[in-house]
Amino acid sequence: MNLVCFANKDSTSIIDTKGVFYPLKSIWKGKNGRISWSRAGFEEDDVHAFLERYEIFLGFSKFSADSVRFFHKIYWNTPIMGSLEDKVLANVTPEKATYPRFQSYVMEIEINNLFDDIDFIGGIEMRGAKLIGLGNKENDAYLSFKRKNKEFVKILSKSFVIYPDRISSALASATIVCREDSIYHPGLQMNYVNESRELSLVRAGEGKIKSPYYDSFHNLDIYSEAIYWKMDLPNINFETIKGVSGLGRATFESSSYFSESRYMRLQGIDPMNPLLRIKKYADRYNVREVSVQGLSEEMLLPQEQVIAMLVNLSNKGFLIYDRDEKRARIKEKLFDYINAVNRKVDYDVIQFNSETYRYQNASLELDSFGLKLYGVPIVYLSDSQNVFVYPKKMKN
């Protein structure tokens, strides 16, 4: 039989099922059957799930089932085991459909060539019309962007939304491979559009998203709004967010950069500089990763105040703060800054401030990994001796 549940302009069906109905309990105990995602705009044979055993209480317009075999033939042909939930809602259109829902048991499902030169590993959730790549507490979902058949960009996230023509994530970490080094950011808004084959990594928002890009190949901290890469082109551009403003500003700062005035601004009116507080804790417990709870107890400060301190230091590039885990990984820059203020190590003041209009601030050449900067009017080599260089001619 076919079992159908109706609501206002919406319905769901279990095709070719059988079972037993208990009218006094209003319970249907079913066996076998198939559910399609036609309500979400897919062909019945493309996206569907096979049930084994399930139970429906007829007082509700929803039900769930375990040990479901799920097919999405656009991306794979073998079944994925998981759980299913379905619910009938009023006035649902295919574009806004959020049911049926399927979630895989396994979190290491591989989809090769999700798009050309893009592979996926992670869990799978089908939420109505949306295919979502899932991570969990232990492992993030993973996208691999290839160049010349080698992994070039690695992106990790708890959640990727996979559309027929694009991929997006509200918060993802990204690593761009530069030979033995990398350009890394712990939290970005990520978007890939397949028509233009363009990947965008946008640094916009609060928390770790405001941290700089960490470039170990050029020994730079890069404060740029966004990175754009068209996968068929041999360069990556650092520039302002497209469509926001024609004026683009970016700062490229040496990893050994030190500014005493910046150090004093971090302290403000506090009795001890926050960099010293973090170092004191790290040295005492011999750790390079600190927790909000541990610092709160050590410093006798409320956790909200500790979080604000860690977010600020993360934005300045001294550590990498994970808001979900409430933990921070200390960067070597924090210790270098303290040593520099005590004149124990050499440091520099090299900082490239780029300002352009309707043009990129920098371009990374992927064959040589040379970094070209644009719109830089002056570069200080020594602030104490007032030594600087400037271009003979400005092009942008």
* CA-CA-CA-CA torsion sign (29, 22, 63, 18): positive
pLDDT tier at 205, thresholds 50, 70, 90: low
Q: Does 209 lie in the same domain as 136? A: yes
Is residue 46 one of the residues assigned to a domain?
A: yes
Q: Which of 69-73, 125-129, 194-198, 380-384 has the lowest mean pLDDT?
A: 380-384
Indicate whether 315 pLDDT > 90.
Answer: no
Query: Which of the two residues, 71 and 350, has the higher pLDDT score?
Result: 71
215/307 same-domain check: no
- What percentage of the chain carries pLDDT values higher than 70? 96
Domain shared by 228 and 145, yes or no = yes
Give the pLDDT of residue 382.
67
Q: Quick one: tokens of 24?
A: 């006094």
Whether residue 207 is predicted with pLDDT greater than 80 in this model: the reply is: no
Query: Per-residue pLDDT averaged across 334-362, rounded?
Result: 88
- Round to whole Å and give the CA distance between 45 and 126: 15
Instruction: Note the pLDDT of residue 233.
Output: 95
- pLDDT at residue number 242: 82
pLDDT of residue 159: 95
Residue 34: both structure tokens together: 């198939």
User: What's the whole-number average pLDDT of the chain?
Assistant: 89
Kindly tell me if the per-residue pLDDT of 288 is higher than 80: yes
Residues 250 and 122 placed together within one structural domain of the fold = yes
Rounded mean pLDDT, 231-237: 95
Within a domain: residue 182?
yes
pLDDT at 394: 63
Is the model more confident about 94 or about 199? 199
Quick check: is 65 in a domain?
Answer: yes
Please check whether residue 370 lies inside any domain of the structure. Answer: no
Looking at the structure, tell me whether residues 233 and 144 fall in a common domain. Answer: yes
Domain match, 126 and 237 both: yes
Residues 114, 239, single domain; the answer is yes
pLDDT, position 256:
81
Are both 241 and 134 inside the same structural domain?
Answer: yes
Give the pLDDT band (50/70/90) at residue 117.
very high
Reduced 3-state DSSP string for the chain: CCEEEEECCEEEEEECCEEEEECCCCEEEEECCEEECHHHCCCCCCEEEECCEEEEECCCCEEEEEEEEEEECCCCCCCEEEEEEEECCCCCCHHHCCCCEEEECCCCEEEEEEECCEEEEEEEEEECCEEEEECCCCCCEEEEEEECCEEEEEEEECEEEECCCEEEEEEEEEEEEECCEEEEEEEEEEEEECCCCEEEEECCCCHHHHCCEEECCCCEEEECCEEEEECCCCEEEEECCCCCCCEEEEEEEECCECCHHHHHHHHCCCCCCHHHHHHHHHHHHCCCEEEHHHHHHHHCCCHHHHHHHHHHHHHCCCEEEECCCCEEEECHHHHHHHHHHCCCCCCECCEEEEEEECCCCEEEECCCCCEEECCCCCEEEECCCCEEECCCCCCC
Domain harbouring 303, CATH code? 1.10.10.10
Q: What's residue 362's pLDDT?
A: 96
Note whether 233 and 283 are same-domain residues: no
- Does residue 336 fall inside a structural domain? yes
In whole angstroms, how far apart are CA 196 and each of 33, 148, 229, 233, 255? 41, 18, 10, 11, 34
Beta bridge partners of residue 31, listed in sequence order: 18, 53
> Over 60: is that where the pLDDT of 12 sits?
yes
The encoded tokens of residue 74 equal: 């656009």
Measured CA to CA, the distance from residue 157 to residue 186 in angstroms comes to: 10
Q: How much is the average pLDDT of 175-184?
A: 93
Final residue of a structural domain among 239, 254, 269: 254
Q: Are residues 152 and 244 in the same domain?
A: yes
* Total number of domains constituting the chain: 3
pLDDT in the model for residue 83: 97
Question: Residue 157 domain-assigned?
Answer: yes
Last residue of a domain, one of 29, 60, 77: 77
* Residue scoring higher pLDDT (194 or 137): 194
- For the cut 90, the answer to whether the pLDDT of residue 135 exceeds it is yes
- Same domain, yes or no, for 219 and 178? yes
Q: For residues 349-364, give the mean pLDDT.
A: 91
CATH of the domain at 209: 2.60.450.10
In angstroms, what CA-CA distances link 122 with 83, 119, 157, 348? 16, 10, 10, 43
Write down the pLDDT at residue 100.
93
Q: Which residue has the higher pLDDT, 396 or 367?
A: 367
Whole-number pLDDT of residue 206: 57
**Above 90 in pLDDT, residue 93?**
no
Q: Are residues 25 and 137 in the same domain?
A: no
Q: Report pLDDT for 197.
A: 97
pLDDT at 385 over 70: no
Check pLDDT > 90 for residue 211: no
Mean pLDDT of 4-27: 88
Instruction: Judge whether 385 lies within some domain.
Output: no
The residue out of 254, 289, 322 marking a domain boundary is 254
pLDDT above 90 as % of the chain: 63
Structural domain that includes position 281? 260-341
User: Which residue do the tokens 């210790």 mark?
Assistant: 335
Q: Per the domain annotation, does 378 fall within a domain?
A: no
Residue 208 reports pLDDT greater than 70: no
Q: In the prediction, which pLDDT does 204 show?
A: 63
pTM summary value: 0.85
pLDDT band at 391 (very low <50, low <70, confident <90, very high): confident
Count CB-CB contacts under 10 A for residue 185: 22
Say if residue 305's pLDDT is above 60: yes
Identify whether the C-beta of residue 160 lies closer than 8 Å to the C-beta of residue 143. yes
